Amino acid sequence: MEEKTLFRALLFILLSTSVAAIRQPERSPVAVTRRAALENGLGRTPQMGWNSWNHFACNINEDIIRQIADAMVDSGLAKLGYDYINIDDCWAAYDRDSQGNLVANPSTFPSGIKVLADYVHGKGLKLGVYGDAGSFTCSNKMPGSLGYEEQDAKTFASWGVDYLKYDNCNDQGLSPQPRYINMSKALQNSGRNIFFSLCEWGVDDPATWASGVGNSWRTTGDIQDNWGSMTAIADANDKWASYAGPGGWNDPDMLEVGNGGMTTEEYRSHFSIWALAKAPLLIGCDIRSMSNDTKEILRNQNVIAVNQGLGWAIEWREGCSCSMEQRV
C-alpha cells in the first residue's frame, strides 16, 4: 500500500509540472525499432477525441453524435485538442445497396453520414467511422470491408470522413497484414487524407509492421472499466514503446475515464499512464453529463501537454521487472 501511495504521489508531482521541465528518456538510434511512418501527414501526435463504444456500444444514433459534438465544444474539450468524434460499430445498415455500397442505418442515422460529417465539421471537429477487415463487423450487425476496400474507402472519402477505426472480426481465416495493407492502400487512393486506426488487438504484433500501414495500431485486447483490466492493458502495451512516434502510435484502447467502474484516483492514474505512454486520448464516456472530477481529469493541460509534446513514450518497465499493478 505504501509503494502504491508513493508512486501516485510521484506521478502527481510529475504531471503537475510544466511539460518543459519533464525530461524525456534518452534513446540511442539502435534502440529505435519502429519503421518508416505512413506518409499521409496525419498523426504527428497521438490522436485525441471521443469514441462511442465504451459507453454506448450499439446504442447510438445521429442525435447522440450531434449532441456529443456540441458538448465537445461547449465543455472546452475541443479547444484542448479533442477533435475527433468517432462513431464505432453499428452505424450502417445490415445490407449494402444494389451497387454494393455501405449505407447508414435508416433507423438510427436517417440523414446519412455525409450530413452528419458536415455538422461535425461545422463545429470545427472531425468525424470518424468504424469498419472491419472481415466479412462482418464484430457486432455482426453491419458488413465488413473485406473485398470492398477500394469501394468503401472511396465512399468514406465522399462522405467527408476523417478517421477510420478498422476492426479484425470475421476474418475468414486470413492473415491480418494483407487485409490491413489493402485498406491502407485504398485509403491512400481515395482522394482524402483519412486517419487509419488499426484495431487488430495486437494478436499479430502490429507494432512491428504497422507503422507504414496506419497511424495507430492496437497493441492489446479490449479494455474493461476496472483497475485490473486497465493495469494489465498498460503492461501489455508497455513493451512496444520504442515502436511509437510521429505518424504512428501504439494504441492500448480507448479511455474509460468517467464510466463509473473505477475511483477518481484510479481514473486519474489511468489518464496519466495513457498520456505518458503517448497513447491516443480518446474519451469513452458520455461527455454530455460528465462529473466535475471527470472534467478535471480530461482537461488537465499539463497531462495533455506530456502526451502531445515532442519526445518518446515512457517505458514503464525500464529498470523494473514488476507489473503495473505492483508499480501503481
Q: CA 285 to CA 235: how far, in whole Å?
A: 23
Residue 41, sorted as left (phi over 0), alpha (psi -120 to 50) or beta, turns out to be: left
Catalytic residue among 83, 162, 167, 286: 167
Catalytic annotation present for 222: yes
Give helix 113-122 / helix 149-159 axis angle, nearest 10°: 40
Catalytic residue among 70, 204, 205, 222: 222
The answer to whether 279 and 249 have CB atoms below 8 angstroms apart is yes
Catalytic annotation present for 167: yes
Q: CA 229 to CA 51: how far, in whole Å?
A: 19
Q: Is 141 exposed, middle or buried (0-12, 13-18, 19+ CB in 10 A)?
A: middle
Sequence-distant (6+) residues with CB within 8 A of 328 are 4, 7, 8, 231, 269, 273
Supply φ then ψ for residue 163, to 5 degrees. -155, 135
The answer to whether 72 and 85 have CB atoms below 8 angstroms apart is yes
- Continuous segment of H or E residues that includes residue 176: helix 176-188
Q: Which residues are catalytic?
A: 167, 222
